[in-house]
Amino acid sequence: MIIKSKIKGLIVPTFTPLDSRGELKLEMIDRYARYLVSIGVDGVFICGTTGEGLLLSVEERQKILEAWMLHSNNLTVIVHISSTSYKDSIRLASHAKTIGVDAIACMGPCYFPPNGVSELVEFNKRIAYSAPEIPYYYYHIPSVSRVDLPMVQFLSKVEDEIPNFCGIKFTSKNLVDFQECIRLENYKFDILNGNDEYFLNGMLYGVEGSIGTSFNFIPQLYLDIKEAFENNDIKGALDYQARAIDFVKLMLKYENAIVSSKAIFKIMGLDLGPCRLPLRNLTDVENRSLEADLKVLGFFNSISTC
């Protein structure tokens, strides 16, 4: 029987280091991990959307997790195990169980997505049963998975079916569903906020843990939001949140948050390599424009060195 404690703090979805040929560059993970520890985040979310997880093979994902587990004494480790085939997800879950991660997370299949909550529960049930000792989270990201079912209905059905089910990584713009999931059965489930732009909303609703791509770069802004909110300085919290949103908007300006973030890391001196196809990489002109925009935001005055 697992202990269902809630995941707290700032969890970073990690990028996957690749070399110029698009192959894994695992030796970069040690430096990347030490950087994340130095900026004060609480954990990592491995091989998710940010980590290009579904563009990687099962074997590659296993190797990446093994490299990150070398840093599990300093970071909570959650691994994303989703695949269009539940059999591949079972392989990933079994591997994660063997090496002892803190939690696993799985989204609904983006190829032939389920039409109803019952089918989604059955899909997750088959995967979760392969690692019953590990806390299991559903990864709700309909903009990517195209699985857009009411999560409050999913929660009402899933707990009786999956004993190790703990909650949801909620990356949807549906704030009504978000709030209902958090409040369900007197805040029973662990709902992790997956939208950087809604960090303050999540705190207002009672969220204790968040997973956000921009935590890779500006965690202090989110800690400032948290401190201001806890001190009832709502205006201050809103001002900090607005600054965080400005950074997120800049990330999205340059293709998407994955492409732009790998470029930002390279500018900072931590070269995590290119994105894997079919994602593209920024041109030299775009990279120069991105660096100029970062300077306007004052980004280089506040970041830690890599």
Active site residue ranges: 139, 169
Give the dihedral sign, CA 208/213/215/218: negative
* pLDDT tens digit at each of 306 positions of the chain: 566 789 999 999 999 999 999 999 999 999 999 999 999 999 999 999 999 999 999 999 999 999 999 999 999 999 999 999 999 999 999 999 999 999 999 999 988 999 999 999 999 999 999 999 999 999 999 999 999 999 999 999 998 899 999 999 999 999 999 999 999 999 999 999 999 999 999 999 999 999 999 999 999 999 999 999 999 999 999 999 999 999 999 999 999 999 999 999 999 999 999 999 999 999 999 999 999 999 999 998 876 656
What is the structure's pLDDT at 159?
Answer: 85
The answer to whether 275 touches 49, Cβ cutoff 8 Å, is: no
What is the structure's pLDDT at 302?
Answer: 74
276 closest CA partner among 70, 101, 64: 64
**H or E element at residue 142:** helix 142-145
pLDDT in tens, 109-151: 988 999 999 999 999 999 999 999 999 999 999 999 999 999 9
**H or E element at residue 138:** strand 136-140
What is the structure's pLDDT at 292?
Answer: 97
Q: Which domains does the chain have, with CATH numbers?
A: 9-234 (3.20.20.70)
What is the structure's pLDDT at 174?
Answer: 97
From residue 25, alpha-carbon distances to 80, 229, 264, 297 in Å are: 19, 40, 18, 31
**H or E element at residue 106:** strand 103-106
How many angstroms separate the CA atoms of 241 and 221, rounded? 8
How many angstroms separate the CA atoms of 104 and 61, rounded? 13
Torsion of CA 167, 170, 175, 179, to 10 degrees: 10
What is the structure's pLDDT at 304?
Answer: 63
